[in-house]
Chains A and B, each alone.
Chain A
Amino acid sequence: MVETVIQVDNLTKRYDGVLAVDRISFTIAQGEIVGYLGPNGAGKSTTVKMLTGVLRPTEGSILIDGLDLLKAPIEVKRRIGYVPETGGVYESLTAYEYLQLVGRLYHLPEELLEHRIEEFLRMFGLDGVMHERLSSYSKGMKQKVLISAALLHNPKVLFLDEPLTGLDAHSALLLKELIRRLAAEGKTIFYCSHILDVVERTCTRVIILHKGRIVADGSVEQLKELTRQGTLEDIFKQLTYSANIEELAQAFARSIVEMSA
Chain B
Amino acid sequence: MSRWLLTLAERAARRVGIDPHQYWHLLRISLVLDFRRQSAVSSGQSTQSALLMTCLVFGIFSLVLALFTFRTLNTFLYSFMFLAYSMVMVAFIVLSEFGATIISPDDYEILGHRPIASRTYFAVKLSNLLFYVLVIGSALNIFPGLLGAFSESADRLFPFIYFPVALVACLFSAMVVVLLYGALLRVVNYERFKDVLVYIQVVFSFFAFFGYQVLLRMMPYLEQGQPSGGHRVLLIAPPGWFAGLVQLGLGQWARDYALWAGWGVLMTGLLVGAGLRSFSLEYSFHLARLRTATAERRRSRSPSGARIARALERVLVRSSEERAAFFFVRQMLRRNRTLKLRLYPALGFPIAFLVLGIMEKSMGDPFLPSKRFPSVALFMVLVGPLLILNFQALLPYSEEHAAGWLFRVAPVRDLTRVFAGVRKAFLISILLPLFLLMGLLLSWFWTPAHAFCHAAIGFILSYLFLGVALLFYRGGFPFSQEPAKMTQTQQMTLAFLSMPLFGALFFLMYVLYRHPGWLAAAAIVLLLLGWGLNRAADRKAARVTRRQLEETLFTEIE
Chain A residues in the interface with B (C-beta under 8 A): 15, 49, 52-56, 73-78, 82, 84, 86-94, 96-97, 100-102, 104-108, 129, 131-133, 135-136, 149
Q: Point out the residues of chain A lying under 8 angstroms from B332, CB to CB.
A: 90, 92
State the CA gap A91–B404 with chains docked (Å).
12
Q: Which of chain A's residues have a CB closer than 8 A to the CB of B331?
A: 92-93, 97
How far apart are A31's CB and chain B's nearest CB, in angstroms?
23
The smallest beta-carbon distance between B236 and chain A, in angstroms, is: 41
Mask, B97-109, CB within 8 Å of A = 1, is: 0000000000000
How far, in Å, is A75 (CB) from chain B's closest CB? 7
Q: Does B360 contact A (CB under 8 A)?
A: no
Q: Is the CB of B405 within 8 A of A102?
A: no
Distance of B398 from chain A, by nearest CB (Å): 8
B32 contacts partner chain A, Cβ-Cβ < 8 Å: no
Q: Is the CB of A136 within 8 A of B296?
A: yes
**Contacts A55-B553, A56-B553, A131-B299; A90 near B321 (Cβ below 8 A):** no
If A74-B412, A87-B403, A102-B406 touch, whether A54 touches B327 (CB-CB below 8 Å) is no
- Expressed in whole angstroms, the Cα–Cα distance for A90 and B333 within the complex equals 13
- Provide the bound-state CA to CA distance between A88 and B321, in Å: 20
Set A15, A90, A94, A149: member contacting B558, Cβ < 8 A: A15
Q: How far is the CA of A91 from the CA of B194 in the complex (A)?
A: 14
Q: Does the CB pair B405–A104 fall under 8 Å?
A: no
Instruction: List 18 interface pairs A-B (beta carbons < 8 Å), by A numbering.
Output: A52-B409, A74-B412, A74-B413, A88-B402, A89-B400, A89-B403, A91-B403, A92-B336, A97-B300, A97-B327, A101-B327, A104-B321, A105-B320, A105-B321, A132-B298, A135-B191, A136-B297, A136-B298
Does B300 lie within 8 Å of A55, measured CB to CB?
A: no
Q: Does B449 contact A (CB under 8 A)?
A: no
B14 interfacial contact with A, CB 8 Å? no
Contact (Cβ within 8 A) B479 A132? no
Closest to A138 in B: B294
Interface string of B514-532 (1 = CB under 8 A from A): 0000000000000000000
Cβ of B473 under 8 Å from chain A: no
A47 to chain B, nearest CB (A): 12
Contact A90 B328 (CB under 8 A): yes
Q: Which of B261-309 contact A (CB under 8 A)?
A: 294-303
Q: Does B5 contact A (CB under 8 A)?
A: no
Asked if B218 is an interface residue, CB under 8 A from chain A, the answer is no
Contact between A92 and B335, CB atoms less than 8 A apart: yes
Residues of B within 8 A of A76 (CB): 411
Which one of A49, A77, A92, A136 lies within 8 Å of B295 (CB-CB)? A136
Residues of A within 8 A of B294 (CB): 136
Q: Is the CB of A132 within 8 A of B410?
A: no
Q: How far is the CB of A88 from chain B (nearest CB, A)?
A: 3
Q: A84-B405, A101-B324, A135-B191 are known contacts; what are 7 more A-B pairs with Cβ within 8 Å?
A: A15-B554, A73-B411, A86-B402, A90-B479, A92-B332, A107-B321, A136-B297
Compute how far the CA of A52 lies from the CA of B408 in the bound complex, rounded to whole angstroms.
9
Contacting pair B320 A90 (CB below 8 A): no
A101 to chain B, nearest CB (A): 5
What is the CA–CA distance of A77 and B408 in the complex, to the nearest angstrom?
9
List the interface of chain B (C-beta within 8 A of A): 191, 294-303, 320-321, 323-324, 327-328, 331-332, 335-336, 398, 400-403, 405-413, 479, 550, 553-554, 557-558
Once the chains bind, are A106 and B328 in contact (CB under 8 Å)? Answer: no
Complex Cα gap A234–B294 (Å): 42
Taking the closest CB of chain A, its distance from the CB of B304, in whole angstroms, is 10
Which B residues lie within 8 Å of A100 (CB)?
324, 327
With A75-B411, A105-B321: A88-B302 Cβ-Cβ less than 8 Å: no
Across-interface contacts of A52 in B (CB, < 8 A): 409
A54 B300 Cβ-Cβ under 8 A: no
B303-A101 in contact (CB<8A): no
- With beta carbons under 8 angstroms apart, the residue of B335, B336, B402, B553 that contacts A87 is B402
Asked whether A132 and B297 contact (CB < 8 A) given A87-B403, A105-B324, the answer is: yes
A90: which B residues are within 8 A, CB to CB? 328, 332, 398, 400, 403, 479
Residue pair A131, B411 in contact (C-beta under 8 Å): no
Asked if residues A106 and B327 are in contact (CB atoms below 8 Å), the reply is: no
Cα–Cα, bound, A76→B300 (Å)? 35
- The verdict on A101 contacting B553 (CB below 8 Å), with A108-B320, A133-B300, A135-B295 known, is no
Cβ-defined partner of B557 (8 Å) among A54, A88, A91, A102: A54
Cβ–Cβ contact B335 & A104, under 8 A: no
A104 to chain B, nearest CB (A): 3
Collect the chain A residues with CB atoms within 8 Å of residue B328's CB.
90, 93, 101
- What residues of A have a CB within 8 angstroms of the CB of B301 in the complex? 131
Closest 9 CB pairs of A and B: A88-B402, A104-B324, A77-B411, A105-B410, A88-B403, A92-B335, A78-B411, A136-B297, A136-B295
User: In the complex, A54→B553 CA distance in Å?
Assistant: 7
Question: Is the Cβ of A106 less than 8 Å from the Cβ of B410?
Answer: yes
